[in-house]
Amino acid sequence: MGVTYVKEVMSPEELLAEYPLPEAHKKLKDQKDAEITKVFTGESDKFLVIIGPCSADNEDSVCDYINRLAKVQEKVSDKIIIIPRIYTNKPRTTGEGYKGIVHQPDPEKAPDLLEGLIAMRKMHLRSIAETHLFAADEMLYPENWPYIADILSYVAVGARSVEDQQHRLTISGIDIPCGMKNPTSGTLSIMLNSCTAAQGSHTFMYRGWEVKTDGNPLAHTILRGAVNKHDQSMPNYHYEDLQLLLEMYDQWGLKNPACIIDANHANSNKKYYEQPRIISEVLHSRSVSNDIKNLVKGVMVESYIEPGNQTIHDHVYGKSITDPCLGWAESEKLIYDIAEKL
């Protein structure tokens, strides 16, 4: 048999019992979730900035970063809602490389999924306790959702997962905003079909149970650029792209039409320093079209303390060990610039 059962990990119920979210923080999360939901339903005109490291690889530096974000949030709270990225699962195109803290709580040691689940949960709880900000994460493995269902305020489904049936159906049972990225091919209909599935009610097999979901009306699109057959990056954040998405939203008839612009990945050709320029153009498009303003609810930014990236063995504090990120100085300036232009 090609699979070796290494060891049994704890259940979500056991992990949540051992590392619970305090009642006071549950109430804060309810308030934050309601505030974010109003952005997607159109009841609030605040702008979302979903920002943070490509992968949350170190508890101390990640929490340091989010503490910095919290101080900025206080100054822009009239216009912006900051959602920190605590991305604990890292998709790998070839299957090789660091797969996130859930796999390797120590990036230089062998995978340990049990310790990884604990490290993930402890990092989230510490961030919440210190900042009262509730994070975003990517749903890479749908079966992992119950381990963090009570602590996230935003979920993204990546470009390589957006066509997967289990991802779509699992999102249909979640009650917070969930962004569906366009696939690497860039085909917008695939992304919108994914939103349609996520907004619907379904019955399916999940973690050994037959389950029925209510549908998630807050499922929406994320434009992250595409790659053509020549492996060239093709951005899709321009005015014309947003107009096309608007037209397609009208055809699909989805609830709460909304879009987040991912300023990195194929939109920037992975040139992380281009993110402020891209966001500036998106804000300009919103300023000249009320329809686009109502559609584009926020941006997604890859950012950390130090700019760029490094190898796992370099040990530069607060520097990405996966995709290159915008540094803190540029990120702080970017958030203030966004607030000024809104």
- CATH code of the domain covering residue 192: 3.20.20.70
Q: What is the mean pLDDT of residues 207-223?
A: 97
pTM of the model: 0.97
| pLDDT tier at 96, thresholds 50, 70, 90 | confident
Asked if residue 3 is part of any domain, the answer here is: no
Residue pair 327/307 in contact (Cβ under 8 Å)? The answer is yes
User: Distance (Å, rounded) from C-alpha 204 to C-alpha 118?
Assistant: 28
Alpha carbon distance 301, 34 (integer Å) = 23
Q: Is the dihedral of CA 33, 38, 41, 46 positive or negative?
A: negative
- Arithmetic mean of pLDDT, 88-117: 85
pLDDT digits (tens, 9 = 90+) for 280-317: 999 999 999 999 999 999 999 999 999 999 999 999 99
338 closest CA partner among 27, 79, 119:
79
Q: Which residue has the tokens 């101080």?
A: 71
Which one, of 159, 155, 120, 107, lies nearest residue 322 by Cα?
A: 107
Q: Specify which residues 111 forms β-bridges with.
A: none
What confidence category does residue 95 fall into, taking pLDDT thresholds of 50, 70 and 90? low
3: its two tokens: 């699979």
Lowest mean pLDDT among 56-65, 92-101, 211-220: 92-101
> How many domains does the chain divide into?
1
**Structure tokens given for 110:** 């062998």
Query: Does residue 259 form part of some domain?
Result: yes
Alpha helices in the chain (DSSP H): 12-18, 23-41, 59-76, 113-131, 165-171, 188-199, 239-252, 275-288, 290-295, 328-341
Please list, in sequence order, all residues whose beta carbon lies within 8 angstroms of the beta carbon of residue 171, skipping any fewer than 6 positions away: 139, 155, 157, 178, 180, 198, 216, 219
Q: Is residue 19 part of a domain?
A: yes
As a whole number of angstroms, the distance between CA 307 and CA 240 comes to 31
Q: Which structural domain range is residue 305 located in? A: 12-341
Whether residue 6 is contained in a domain is answered as no
pLDDT band at 2 (very low <50, low <70, confident <90, very high): confident
Residue 104 has pLDDT above 70, yes or no: yes
Q: How buried is 190 (Cβ within 10 angstroms: 0-12 exposed, 13-18 middle, 19+ buried)?
A: middle
How far is 44 from 35, CA to CA, in rounded Å?
A: 8
Burial 103-115 (b: 16+ CB within 10 A, else e): bbbebeeeebbeb
In a domain, 7, yes or no: no
Q: Is residue 49 part of a domain?
A: yes
% pLDDT > 90, the chain: 91
Closest CA to 57 of 254, 313, 339, 342: 313
Ramachandran sector of residue 294 (left: φ over 0; alpha: ψ -120 to 50; beta: rest)? alpha
Alpha-carbon separation of residue 216 from 21, 134, 198, 249 (angstroms)? 24, 19, 6, 16
300 burial via Cβ count (<10 Å: 0-12, 13-18, 19+): buried
Whether the predicted pLDDT of 51 surpasses 90: yes
Do residues 53 and 68 make contact, with C-beta atoms less than 8 angstroms apart?
no
Tokens of 248: 């397609």
Listing from the earlier edge strand, what are the strands of the sheet with 80-84? Answer: 80-84, 47-52, 296-302, 259-262, 219-223, 178-181, 152-157, 135-138
Rounded to 5 degrees, φ, ψ at 319 are: -120, 135
Helices (H), 176-264: 188-199, 239-252
Asked whether residue 101 carries a pLDDT value surpassing 80, the answer given is yes
Is residue 2 in some structural domain? no
Mean of per-residue pLDDT scores for the chain: 95
pLDDT, tens only, 136-162? 999 999 999 999 999 999 999 999 999
Q: Are 228 and 234 spatial neighbours (Cβ–Cβ below 8 Å)? A: yes
Give the CA-trace dihedral at 223, 227, 229, 232, to 10 degrees: 140
4 domain-assigned: no
Q: At residue 204, does pLDDT exceed 70?
A: yes
pLDDT band at 340 (very low <50, low <70, confident <90, very high): very high
- Count of CB atoms situated within 10 Å of the CB of 204: 16
